[in-house]
Structure 1
Amino acid sequence: MTDTVLHFDHVAIELGGRQILSPVELTVKRGEFVCVIGPSGCGKTTLLRAAAGFVAPSHGSVRRKGAA
């Protein structure tokens, strides 16, 4: 059993021909507290939507609790 609950493996997201999220590499382990901050329009909500499975990455993969 792994302690990783969320892993972004070179995730990039393009919508409408625009790159919304540049490649992201992120691992969140059980018990960690993570904060996503940045200016308006930088992709915070898109990152969270990808984490929840609402948006599929154009490149890379998102694994939640070890599953793809």
Structure 2
Amino acid sequence: MTGEPDNLVLVYLRRIDEKVDRLIDDVNDLKRRVPGVEENLAGVHRRIDRLELRVERIERRLDLADATH
């Protein structure tokens, strides 16, 4: 029995500890990456807003805009 652990509970606790460490690394990675995604999404929204304004201006120039605008 030389290769077997002394305490099975300790083996499971070590495995849980390793998994928690991996989860912590994954969460830290996400914390670093999410702000960049949010910034890029905000940029996309700004571009869409500008495009909407340009389309509205074009529609007005071509008298294609609804009377409700």
- TM-score (ref. length: structure 2): 0.21
Structure ID, larger Rg: 2
- In the superposition, the TM-score normalised over structure 1's length comes to 0.22
Structure number with higher helix proportion: 2
Name the structure with the higher strand share.
1
